Structure 1
């Protein structure tokens, strides 16, 4: 019989997703839970498994198509005898059970990565739905056997967040994909390297990061085998603009920023400080036996200073709950770190960052940064942040007025560190100077509270020993 798989709710009430790539084609035989498509939501990509074992008969949507939850995406022909078709009861509607049908005990269904697999075959008269006609990826309707009746599948929300990740993997079917690991495929996608042209030097021919980077040093080859250094296509003569659809992360980010900017009254305060003592501390930690092999940078120290300052200024770690008419006070710090990725701006967070020591916090930051670069940031890590940091200094920026991550009361922008003349012990000396910018929601944080919080962070960075007077 023919069974239709509809786009499931992939979590958090998202109403639409984009078909990034199909991993199967009509006529392919698939197993239960075999990955059949990459589907991109506003936050991440879900690797969609098959709820059936059978043969793909029709792809209802093309790659790049935005599909709403409940719309058909793929049809399967599955093994099993065709049950007898019941007569529709008078006045009945498609999908209603026959009133005369005997009640049957519910049978447990085996959960798959998304939704549930096909229910076990039952005796008796089945439930039916009206079938709506739709075109396959090529624009033509698939021809189902005359005796087959399509059965819709309405999976539930994602059963596990383990399948959610940022869209960076190639779209070719798993069987045809060159042997590599997800981080390597992510790196190749970001660098624009086609893995199918590489020969792996790793164990059993596995393609490694070094293979991908080495490919960049080689001249590119045209399809006919000749080498070419031609750049990417540019707009044609007279073309004054290029348009592209607003989708996925960019669409979600834009909506979130507009909602934040026009909902929370933003105020930004600035503080410029001499962080030479912090830079000396970082240099000293490099030779400290307890920190050998660890990469302690300025961002880790700022993050730790922020967590300590939150304990003294809890109003910055709150949320305005408009629906409940309440102010939510967080007693933990889920520290968001704004990350620029090829797909757009993401703000994954470090859970319970306030409970981590400097070394563990630095390790968590390194892991978060690597995941963002590799495109393996999970959707779970994008939820539940309580306060955020954005490091604009890595782009050579001194200061800014960051927009709050929706649902948070404050965000700290860390500016670049510059050597410049500064007053020191009554004289002028070249010092490491940095500007901090704190934006906060004025409904939750008064100017004085924001200033005290910012000064506490600055005090720690200007003289790390002062932390002894603050805890």
Structure 2
């Protein structure tokens, strides 16, 4: 996670704070150059594809440089901050000499102060805003160095000295583009160095690559003047760069929303979804909620209908354990879980997240209420950790808080069932042979039909409904 640039300066690299994450966006810096930091001190907050996470520094020292500004998306493994562990600002001069010497070997007699100042103007400053010349880019993405070197044409080499000692030759600044865009350019045979970027801060987008590929295809078809298809493709690309900013707003898809979109598409087109519905009288459950709010053991805890719905689902799973499973496509196996990590869908400013309560089946009602309260408050603060969103087995999504009667929820990848809870409303209902106003809601259970058939799914949903209609069953069935 750290490397040394000299005896006293260390680089702190963007860590993989989840499982297999490739990038994270810097949301906020808590320190500035010149600040003193200690081992374990939080220096910045980043947003991954799963959550917002605070990053602590692993050593003591003085902050020398912040490599990227807030709002920049950085690859995992890229240095984001440098710290002088010697603790002195004066140590900055010798630390920068190795960078200055290769750029000016013809001036060995120059005063030490000048080489220390030059890199700050020519290299350091661009890196500070998230981008740099070829040397700093190589530090950001060393794994792409060979590919970049092969992609730069001979005519792009100019002005400065390259790494082989030939004065007057150096690579142009490396084009800014994300790995998927680079792969697209490689597949289409497009040279990124000749593209004029249209993305934020000079980043090359997929549209730029497609636009550049059109003239390439047209030139390849010169021997046949009658071919006009490439020219006709231009209008399809142009609007991406010429939209009316006064009438449209374009929001980059990243972070939690990007991960959610990918997960939902994968789930919808991988697991065969089936959704069943039941409308149930929950008047007695609502009365029990009010009674529990006055119970001494529940004082200070979050007591609401969701608590009893969660408990009802846990009881239904206990009675029908086969529903708590996962489909292992690689091994062609059904993995039955002997624990329940109960996910609760939560809407946050960064998008929908689904943290889960670990081993929820083993918790008493007060313990479940405490866990629900912590889960909700943490999600609202945007502090849910990646670990809290991993390993879920079943999920509850409460769409009723938005006044919605019900829905057809999509499974979280790796889970077999998700229960949607609709709005609880006062409705006319036949009760004991008479039409009376009762508290009614509609439940919807979506499940993976590969491992949950109609009978099993129906039993689970019917059990949840029966408990909510007669909550005393929580005692007899639990």
TM over 0.5: yes
Q: Could you tell me how far apart the structure 2 residues matched to 1:306 and 1:432 are? A: 19
SS at match of 1:401: coil
Separation (CA, whole Å) in 1 of partners of 2:290 and 2:24: 47
- Counterpart CA distance in 1 for 2:403 and 2:271 is 28
Q: Does the CA-based 8 Å contact 2:52-2:383 persist in structure 1? A: no
The answer as to 2:429 corresponding to 1:422 is yes
1:178-236 per-position Cα deviation (integer Å, ceiling 9, x unaligned) = xxxxxxxxxxxxxxxxxxxxxxxxxxxxxxxxxxxxxxxxxxxxxxxxxxxxxxxxxxx
**Distance in 1 (alpha carbons) for counterparts of 2:287 and 2:38:** 59
- Alignment counterpart, residue 128 of structure 2, candidates 126, 132, 137: 137
Deviation at 1:287, TM superposition (A): 4.3
2:341 to 310, 334, 355: 334
Q: 1:151 and 1:434, CA in 2 relative to 1: closer, same or farther beyond 3 A? A: closer
After TM superposition, give the deviation of residue 325 of structure 1 in Å.
2.2
Q: Among 386, 391, 395, which residue is 2:402 paired with?
A: 395
Change in Cα spacing, 1:467 to 1:10, as seen in structure 2 (3 Å) is: closer
Matches within 5 A, 1:35-74: 35-74=42-81
> Once the 2 structures are TM-superposed, how far is the Cα of residue 151 of structure 1 from its aligned partner?
11
Taking the aligned partners of 1:351 and 1:245, their CA distance within structure 2 comes to: 33
Does residue 11 of the first structure (1) align with residue 2 of the second (2)?
no
Q: CA, structure 1 residues 238+342, in 2 after alignment: closer, same or farther (shift >3 Å)?
A: closer
CA distance in 2, matches of 1:393, 1:358: 22
Compared CA separation, residues 32 and 332, structure 1 to 2 (3 A): closer
Q: Return closer, same or farther for 1:54/1:314 CA change in 2, 3 Å cut-off.
A: same
Q: Which has the higher contact order (CA 8 A, sep 6+)?
A: 1
Quick check: 423-432 or 46-55, which moved more?
A: 46-55
Q: Distance in 2 between the 1:389 and 1:140 partners?
A: 43
Matches within 5 A, 1:139-154: none
CA separation in 2, counterparts of 1:138 and 1:381? 33
1:434 to 1:11, Cα distance in 2 relative to 1, 3 A: closer
**Is 1:300 matched with 2:298?**
no
Quote how far apart the aligned CAs of 1:360 are: 2.2
TM alignment of 1:71-470, pairs within 5 A = 71-79=78-86, 135-138=126-129, 239-288=246-295, 290-292=297-299, 294-467=301-474, 470=477
How far 1:238 sits from its partner (Å)? 7.3
Contact 2:52 2:384 (8 Å CA) reproduced:
no
- Aligned counterparts of 1:289 and 1:374: Cα–Cα separation in 2: 28
- The answer to whether the 8 A contact 1:3-1:151 is kept is no
Instruction: Say whether the 8 Å CA contact 1:296–1:359 is kept in structure 2.
Output: no
Q: How many residues align?
A: 335
- Cα deviation digits, residues 374-405 of structure 1 (max 9, x gap): 23323221111111101111111111001111
Deviation string for 1:65-122 (max 9, x for gaps)?
Answer: 1111222323344449999xxxxxxxxxxxxxxxxxxxxxxxxxxxxxxxxxxxxxxx
For the 8 Å contact 1:257–1:405, the answer to whether it is kept is: yes
Q: 1:24 aligns with which of 28, 31, 36?
A: 31
Query: Which blocks of at least 5 consecutive residues in structure 1 are unaligned?
Result: 84-132, 143-149, 155-236
Q: 8 Å contact 1:58–1:136 — kept in the other structure?
A: no
Any unmatched runs of 5+ in structure 2?
1-5, 96-122, 143-243
Provide the rounded CA distance (Å) in 1 between the counterparts of 2:44 and 2:254: 18
C-alpha separation between the residues in 1 aligned to 2:131 and 2:384? 37
How far residue 461 of structure 1 moved from its aligned partner, in angstroms, is 0.9
Q: Distance in 1 between matches of 2:299 and 2:37?
A: 50
SS in 2 for 1:240: coil
Cα separation, 2, equivalents of 1:151 and 1:416: 53
Cα 1:52–1:293 change in 2 (3 A) is closer
Question: Conserved in 1, the CA contact under 8 Å of 2:14 and 2:79?
Answer: yes
Counterpart-to-counterpart distance in 1, 2:324 and 2:351: 26
Distance 1:242 1:292 in 2: 46
C-alpha deviations, 1:32-65, integer Å up to 9, x for none? 4443322221122333333454444433322211
Give me the whole-angstrom Cα distance separating, in 2, the residues matched to 1:467 and 1:29.
56
Distance in 1 between the 2:37 and 2:432 partners?
74
CA distance in 1, matches of 2:245, 2:298: 59
CA distance in 1, matches of 2:13, 2:245: 44
Aligned-partner Cα distance in 2 for 1:322–1:254: 21
* C-alpha RMSD of the superposition: 3.2
